[in-house]
Structure 1
Amino acid sequence: MFRKRQKHDSHVNLERWLISYADFITLLFIVFLILFSMSAVDAKKFQALRESFSQITGSGASLVMPAPGSAALSSANINTGKEKKKNEVPSEQERFEQIKEKMEQYTQAKGLDKNVKINIDQNGINVTITGTVLFAIGDATLQPEAKKVIKDMFNFINSIDNPLRIEGHTDNVPIHNARYPSNWELSAARAMNLVRYLAEEYKIKPERLSGAGYGEYHPVAPNDTPENRAKNRRVEIMILSSKAAAADAQKPQSKP
């Protein structure tokens, strides 16, 4: 006898979609885990991550980040803008501002703020030291206490690798002796003595340094009182900006 085979309906697995769904959830979890671990958004790395997931998923344009122009993207840019700025290299102007702030804090703490002024202009930072902080009246030899001030201040000044220009100035009181025939020689000697001290003591590259003596001919105050004459007896240490240094380099050199 032949038995009739019974036909059985093929079993259809209605839960296969759970496998794909589980894979997608795992992938999404990894994405958010990576994003959470990033303390700051790096644009290049973020783009590489986005492209990587786009290749895996086939599109992925909105999986890692919102579509361009969306409100969510604008919000993300606002929230991460400050974090990105922290990681950027400070501009020259920002570094100048930092140096100025630290130097002003130092001069105030040491009681030197009446004789040491720090300003920033288009040429860079100008540190003006007046009175007898560096030199005695009519002399160009650095005073012993001046060396401590220079050491402290150059911890800030030498934190940036810009050219330095040292300028010497005097009041209008005439000087005439065997060592300094006029205020020209006195102001130039003060500038060059400081230049040489910086090169020898702090090993500042000579190509960064320059000096000039202006005598009594660039006063900042009338020479009518002892206080004003003290303002004119000054040394200016200039940290040149890149623009000012480039302009100086382009000036034609005088030929003998």
Structure 2
Amino acid sequence: MAKSKTGEPSPIIIVKKGGGGHKAHHGGSWKVAYADFVTAMMAFFLLLWLIASLKPQQKNELALVFQDKNAPTKEKVVNLEKIPTFMAKDAKVGRPEFKLSQENKLRYEVALMIKEIIANDPNLRQTSGVSSDSSGVLLNVNSPVLFDPNSATLKPGSDKMLQGIIDILKAHKIDLVVRGHADDGESGGGLYPSKWELSSARAAAIVRYIVEKGGIPPTRVRAVGYGDSQPLVPPTSPEARAKNRRVEFYYHGQDTPAW
């Protein structure tokens, strides 16, 4: 220990230095981020509540609106037997309340018109089906409604159903492909060498009627025959063969080729 000149110990001096103080205030930016988070969570739970309040049928119908149009066609085929009625202001007009794309809106309006055709014909209600894919709407009609077995002559009474097909073409700028099919037991009645000619003749007979009776330009309608190459069900009974013996009406956009 150091001593003073007098010989006495020097006093110990303790120096206390004041702190530099707190750092500068960080500001309120965290409040903005927190408010955004709370808003997003509120919107999320509100969406969950809205979805939970829908009926199961409405959920299935609403799912049709959000389909990915780029998805493969085979995975995207949906049944349109029950068109979303809660989405339409007027079921007869069929104009959806939601802001759909022009393509989806057209598909729904065509499907609604097809549904009306089926509803007005007792035979069609039991022997027809409606489906949709990424390109258009398909009406499937069992051939007995339009043709007798081994025949490509339109049956009496088929004009009412075909007039509905014509009305759709007149109401919308779309094209139509008529696909004829035969069953494995048909021979063509001696008039057609094969099932290919028979199925093609059926499609051609319908196209001819649409063009001549409906005044539809031939460029908007096509006829295709598939013979018995695309059966719907195994041909194990007369009823099954009747299902395979069918005509398909495929409505699609004018810029979308479909066969």
Q: Same fold (TM over 0.5)?
A: yes
**Pick from 199, 216, 219: which aligns with 1:187?**
199
Deviation at 1:214, TM superposition (A): 0.6
- Letter of the structure 2 residue corresponding to residue 109 of structure 1: N
Q: Distance in 2 between matches of 1:86 and 1:105?
A: 19
Query: Which of 233, 236, 257 in structure 2 is aligned with 1:221?
Result: 233
Shift of 1:156: 2.9
Which residue is equivalent to 2:182? 170
Name the CA distance, whole Å, in 2 between partners of 1:183 and 1:146.
22
Determine the structure 2 residue equivalent to 1:108: 119
Q: Does 1:143 align with 2:143?
A: no
The residue aligned with 2:17 is: none
Q: How many residues align?
A: 163
Could you tell me how far apart the structure 2 residues matched to 1:94 and 1:208 are?
20
Partner of 2:250: 238
For the residues of structure 1 that align with 2:129 and 2:188, how far apart are their CA atoms? 30
Give the ranges of 4+ consecutive aligned residues of structure 1 lying more than 6 Å apart after TM superposition: 85-90
**Aligned-partner residue type, residue 206 of structure 2:** L
Kept in 2, the 8 Å contact 1:165–1:211? The answer is yes
Gaps of 5+ in 1: 1-84, 249-256
Question: Compared with structure 1, are the counterparts of its residues 89 and 158 closer, same or farther at alpha carbon in structure 2 (3 Å cutoff)?
Answer: farther
What are the residue-to-residue correspondences of 1:29-40 with 2, within 5 Å? none
Between the aligned partners of 1:119 and 1:224, the Cα distance in structure 2 is 25
Give how far 1:105 is off. 3.2
**Alignment partner, residue 69 of structure 1:** none
1:152 is matched by which residue type in structure 2?
A: G
Larger helix share, 1 or 2 = 1
Pairwise CA distance, 1:244 = 2.9
Structure 1 residues 119-174: Cα deviation after superposition (integer angstroms, max 9, x where no partner): 11123111111141111111001112011111134323432121211110011004
Distance 1:120 1:158, change over 3 A: farther
The answer on whether the counterparts of 1:199 and 1:205 sit within 8 Å (CA) in structure 2 is: yes
Distance 1:176 1:197, change over 3 A: closer
Does the Cα contact within 8 Å between 1:122 and 1:241 map onto a contact in 2? no
Q: Would the aligned equivalents of 1:166 and 1:237 in 2 still touch at CA under 8 Å?
A: yes
Letter in 2 for 1:196: R
SS across alignment from 1:113: helix
Q: CA deviation at 1:238?
A: 0.8
Name the residue aligned to 1:98: 109
**Distance in structure 2 (CA, Å) of the matches to 1:93 and 1:145:** 33
Q: Give the alignment's TM-score, normalised by structure 1.
A: 0.58
- Looking at structure 1, the residues matched to 98 and 138 of structure 2 have their Cα atoms a distance apart, in angstroms, of 28
Contact 2:179 2:203 in 1 (8 A): yes
Q: The residue matched to 2:144 in structure 1 has which SS?
A: coil
Say which SS state the counterpart of residue 139 (structure 1) adopts. coil
Alignment deviations for residues 68-115 of structure 1 (CA, whole Å, 9 cap, x no partner): xxxxxxxxxxxxxxxxx9798961221211221232133123222221
SS in 1 for 2:207: helix
- Show the counterpart of 1:152: 164
* Contact 2:149–2:186 (CA under 8 A) maintained in structure 1: no
Q: How much has 1:242 moved relative to structure 2?
A: 4.7
Unaligned runs of 5+ in 2: 1-95
Output the TM-score relative to the length of structure 2.
Answer: 0.57
Q: How far apart, in 2, do the equivalents of 1:191 and 1:208 lie?
A: 14
Q: Which residue of 1 aligns with 2:213?
A: 201
Could you tell me which residue of structure 1 aligns to residue 132 of structure 2? 120
